[in-house]
Amino acid sequence: MTTSYRFSLRTYQDKEGKCLIYLDVRDSKKRIRYPIEIKINPSLWDPKKQRLKKSSDKHIQEISNAYNLVLENIEAKLVQIKTTFILREQFLDAETMIEEFQTSSPDFDFISFYRHHLSLQSYSKQTLKNHNSVLKKLSEYKSEIPFHKIDENFFLGYRKKYNKNSEVTYFSDVKCMKKFLNLAVKKGIRIGIEMEDLKIRFAKQGRVYLMPDEVKKLINYYYNEFIQESHKLPLGYFLFSCYTGLRISDIQQRKREEILHGVFQFNHQKTGNFQSMRLNEDGKKLLLHNPDLFKVKIVEQKINAHLKIIAERCKISKKLTMHVGRHTFATTYYRNTKDVIGLKKLLGHSNISNTLIYTHLVEGEEMEGLETVTY
């Protein structure tokens, strides 16, 4: 069905002698008149060009330019709607075109679609940060990304542009994109690649975690009177993660008073899952040793930079980051208890498959005789 549109002027004049501009949308069966919230003097209207005429009056010309720009933007959106339905090979009649025009969801440009639907959802602070990071990269990659141009070459080009990023970062970006592409497909938007062909692949490498003897080296350094002053806080936060399994995002939200209370409750920043946790005696000792712990906060990047130096000083060859503390807790807990359900709850996982990763790591070890999460 052929659907056409044009702008027209209503014949009725208000008290000021102005007429309302309409958007007329027609198909072979129906005509719909949609009012554009612009009223003008009928003498300014050019029905052939469907725009306001030029005027020698500077003030009137400025108004005409502004109104013409509005009409051009409306027409651009209408062209976008028609193009989208052609590419989708979907039926478009007058009523559907008006509905699409009224909706605020952009269904042609992936960047606009991504930004719009990102604003509608409630995400954790970290997830929102990740999604915004990908959105920024997409905007740097292309100013506009029509859905039909999202094909294999699109992802090859994206990978090439950000080739300094690791493979893990690239596939993490693709995972974010896929979330919004799946949403687009559900809305009937056609993209240039089959979703089942868009694989998310991560490097098959073991998660870095510390063994008890390595953690002991760090504990000894933490309590050593000769520890470098700048290492006290970073190492304290890292060891706290080894004792609790908390992510850095959750650690940064905690207050010293609530932790010293013994039992503290919170919602995981990443998953939103509720958590009640009791700090053991070693963890309390960790806090009491440094009165600045959970009083003075440090950003993750700075902590990780210090951990790199601390690892060298303690003769630990592994690359230390705050997340290594979480992995260390998980592997130690499972090694000592074999309690997958308890570990899932403590880590705040929504899916047990994420927890089972640690069981596979530990089952590859040959260690016996450990009974508690103590170092």
Write the secondary structure of 71-119 as one string of H (helix), E (strand) and C (coil).
HHHHHHHHHHHHHHHHHHCCCCCHHHHHHHHHCCCCCCEHHHHHHHHHH
Q: Does position 274 have pLDDT exceeding 70, yes or no? A: yes
pLDDT of amino acid 371: 43
Whose CA is closest to 110, among 182, 200, 196, 171? Answer: 182
Q: Which residues is 8 bridged to in the sheet?
A: 22
Tokens read off for 316? 């630990």
Q: What is the mean pLDDT of the chain?
A: 87
| N- to C-terminal Cα separation, the chain | 74
- Model confidence at 1, pLDDT cuts 50, 70, 90, reads low
Contacts of 274 (CB under 8 A, 6+ apart): 265, 266, 267
Pairing of strands 51-52, 263-267: unpaired
Predicted pLDDT at 327: 95
Average pLDDT over residues 196-219: 82
Check if the beta carbon of residue 310 is closer than 8 Å to that of residue 235: yes
CA atoms within 13 A on the CB side of 230: 9
CA distance linking residue 108 with residue 190, whole number of Å: 10
- DSSP E strand stretches across the chain: 4-9, 19-26, 31-40, 45-46, 51-52, 263-267, 274-278
Question: pLDDT > 90: what percent of the chain?
Answer: 48
Place of tokens 């502004």: 66
Residue with tokens 């090694």: 335
24-33, 123-132, 313-322, 343-352: least confidently modelled range: 123-132
95-107 average pLDDT score: 75
- Answer with the residue of higher pLDDT: 265 or 104: 265
User: Which among 328, 243, 234, 325 has a CA at the least distance from the CA of 278?
Assistant: 243
How far, in Å, CA of 264 to CA of 253, rounded?
Answer: 12
Residue 202: pLDDT band by 50, 70, 90 thresholds?
A: low
Site of tokens 């008149």: 33
Cβ–Cβ < 8 Å for 80, 87: no
d(CA 147, CA 184): 9
Query: Which of 26-40, 261-275, 287-301 holds the top average pLDDT?
Result: 287-301
As a whole number of angstroms, the distance between CA 187 and CA 286 comes to: 52
User: 65: which residues sit within 8 A by CB, 6+ positions away?
Assistant: none
Dist CA 90 CA 85 (whole Å): 5
Distance CA 375, CA 213 (A): 7
